[in-house]
Structure 1
Amino acid sequence: MSALSTLNPAVGRPSVDDWPFRTRVLCTLGAVAVLHLVALGLWGLGSLGGSVPLAIGLVITCYLTGVKHSYDWDHIAAIDNSTRRFVGQGKRPASVGLAFSMGHSSVVILAGILVVLGATFVSSFISEGTAANTTLGIIGGTVSGVFLLLIGLYNAGACAHSWRLRRRVRDGYAVGEEDLHAQGLVSRVMAKPLARVQRPRNIFTLGFLFGLGFDTASTISLLVLTVSASVAGVSGWTLLSLPFFFAAGMCLCDSLNGLAVLRMYRSAWRDPARKLGFNTAITGLSAAAALFISVITLGGVLNTAFGLSDPVTSWLANVDLGDAGLLLIAALLVVWGGFALVRKARRA
């Protein structure tokens, strides 16, 4: 029975999610390495035609732009909260960050390829104010806002459950690993809408839909359009490599972020009784971030979709959370480091 339980019923082979954790981590990092090699290969083909200094500058710009975008608050919140939910279900996902980033990157890569191939209709998708751009922005914003709202509420329920357990521990209640799994009305209700998100690979679709707002694709596509229109001598191969460099930088940082938060949450499961405070704080912080971003995102969607002019949704539509992800990462590290110092002090 145990052997059959590890088989994928659709194909009769072991599922990727049943591979050893170290193997899954190596596969995740290997996929990121392959993406870097593809980008370098395309750039190498383009460099054969000259303009190497200019090409290097473009490559570095695109790569760093991808790295920067990986620290947008919606990326951090989606990866962090998804990982928290998987860990709460007793799973040990290794590729949440990669799956989300690859889905997001596929929009960038597809747009970049179409631009290089001369598909002029792409400009209607990336030009702000056009009907196509507005429609895709509404779709992407709605999906990201609703998902962050649902998973934020789910993790908020888990945070409340951990807080109640912490109070019971003070009264002498013995806490086991099973007690940390999300329970309560909120978690049960939110689990149903999130039922389709059962594996890290399901996050790929979410990442793709998140990217339909063309916030990332516009960055790279407009750069490619500018280069292809104004700079003579830059080969098509070099232009084609730019979206891949953007995606490589974003996937690397998102993958590392996913593995880092996985370790953070797994550490709360090794000693449930002593780490309930940490589990409560880190889960509450992540849930609050997801709910905060969902309100801003959905407010902006409502403002755009219905042409509202009220001060609240107008303000929400103009909020830029591009650099706020770094604040969230810093807050998570402060909580993690603080509890580590307290634990070390108690052992001394």
Structure 2
Amino acid sequence: MTTLTGLAAKYRQREELPLRTRLLFAFGAVAALHLAAVALLFAGTPESGTPESGTAGAGQSVALGLVLTAYLAGVKHSYDWDHIAAIDNSTRRFVAQRKDPVSVGFAFSLGHSSVVILAGVLVVGGAAIVGQFMEDGTTGNLVLGLIGSGVSGLFLLVMGLFNGSAFLQAAQAYRNVQGGGEVRDGDLEAKGFLARLLTRPLSRVKRPRNIYVIGFLFGLSFDTATTIGLLVMTAAASLAGVSPLALLALPLSFTAAMTLFDTTNGVAMMRMYRSALHNPQRKLGFNALITGISALSALFVSAITLGGFFHTAFGLEDPLTTWLGGVDLGEAGLLLVAVLLAVWGVAALRGRSKSSSQAA
């Protein structure tokens, strides 16, 4: 009992650490994943001059190429619209609760890529059944895909509605300030019937680390695991010179890339929303705008995901769900990040120009 109490106390102390310290922990964990991927790659490739190096020479170069390919795939997937929307909306909610959620992006991407790592380990270990879940059209793939898309669609729907309530609150507060009113405490937080209704579904997501489970369930659709799994299986089947350790570097390099960029995205979103909270009167309109963009984005992605879910689960053939099921979310994430950062940049420049004119 004493041990459990001590562990709980240490956990609370960790959450009370300074922001810079927690940032070092988050990016230190990302760096550790990179080092682990490199270590696996080198441990799995024999040194030149050893008896087995002649037969494995070609395998080494192919393994390195596959690791780089996996890394780039992780970079690309970290900017999928569903990733950005989930991290952004979750960060917005935590910041509104006066928290500094430095690890939202890390927890989400680690949960998401845990599916990839698990699949890679099982494939390298010879678990042929994993291949059945990775093949399009199989029952296992269909079931996991429905679980992943159903969870992601519902989560984004709830977050979009919750932050939509926050947007309405911020927009009303902005109009009051424009009419000569004052900013009150809590003007930037979600309130009203809708916010109260959604509090219970979000009650278990109390801390950034809880987003790990959401990321894991997102990953069950095998949209990422298929890519890495096929790379691992292809390498394992065709390259006798590539060792299991080198093959395990593939999913780990994918994870390292995705955690790096998702963590960076989450920290950028945190700073953006914190800037609105720390000077609400000057940036109330900016807060309303980015909150509205985030909520709208989450609702749009949710509609696409759930439309595809109903199209697949119930075999619907109507034009709407057919179109929604065919939308690719992988190309729009960068656009959303660019829009949010552009709004943030314009607000920051306007704030500085106003400060300069007042000082003059």
The one-letter code matched in structure 2 to 1:207 is: G
Summarize the alignment of residues 251-266 of structure 1 with structure 2, pairs less than 5 Å apart. Answer: 251-266=259-274
Show the counterpart of 1:159.
167
Which of 1 and 2 has greater Rg? 2
Count of aligned pairs? 342
1:178, distance to aligned residue in structure 2 (A): 2.9
SS at match of 2:140: helix
Identity %: 57
Structure 1: gaps of 5 or more residues: 1-6
Return the offset for 1:287: 0.4
Confirm or deny: 8 A CA contact 2:102 2:266 kept in the other structure: yes
Superposed CA RMSD: 1.5
The residue aligned with 1:24 is: 22
Q: Which amino acid aligns with 2:349?
A: L
Q: Which amino acid aligns with 1:228?
A: A
Gaps of 5+ in 2: 47-52
TM-score (normalizing by structure 1) = 0.95
**Structure 1 residues 144-189: Cα deviation after superposition (integer angstroms, max 9, x where no partner):** 0000000100000000100000011122222144322221222221
> How many angstroms does 1:9 deviate by?
9.1
Alignment-derived partner of residue 47 in structure 1: 45
Which one of the candidate residues 127, 146, 159 is aligned to 1:119? 127
Instruction: Please state if 1:333 is matched with 2:331.
Output: no
Equivalences for 1:200-239 in 2 at 5 Å? Answer: 200-239=208-247
Supply the AA of the counterpart residue of 2:31. A
How far 1:53 sits from its partner (Å)?
2.4
Deviation of 1:342 (Å): 1.8
Q: Distance in 1 between matches of 2:127 and 2:193?
A: 50
- When residues 20 and 347 of structure 1 are mapped into structure 2, their CA distance, relative to the original with a 3 A threshold, is closer
Following superposition, the deviation at residue 46 of structure 1 comes to 1.4
What is the CA–CA distance in structure 1 between the aligned matches of 2:354 and 2:206, rounded to whole Å? Answer: 38
Q: Is the 8 A contact 1:155 1:287 kept in 2?
A: yes
Contact 1:80 1:258 (8 Å CA) reproduced: yes
Q: Any conservation in 2 of the 1:177–1:269 contact (CA below 8 Å)?
A: no
Residue of structure 2 equivalent to 1:271: 279
SS at match of 2:267: helix
One-letter code of the match for 2:232? Answer: V
Per the alignment, residue 3 of structure 1 pairs with none
- Which residue of 1 is the match for residue 50 of structure 2? none
Q: Which amino acid aligns with 1:236?
A: P
Q: 1-side partners of 2:296 and 2:239: how far apart?
A: 46
User: 1:197 — aligned with what?
Assistant: 205
Residues 273-303 of structure 1: per-residue CA shift (max 9 Å, x gap): 1101100010000000000000000010001
Q: Is the contact between residue 100 and residue 203 of structure 1 (CA under 8 Å) also seen in structure 2? A: yes
Deviation of the 1:231 alpha carbon:
2.8
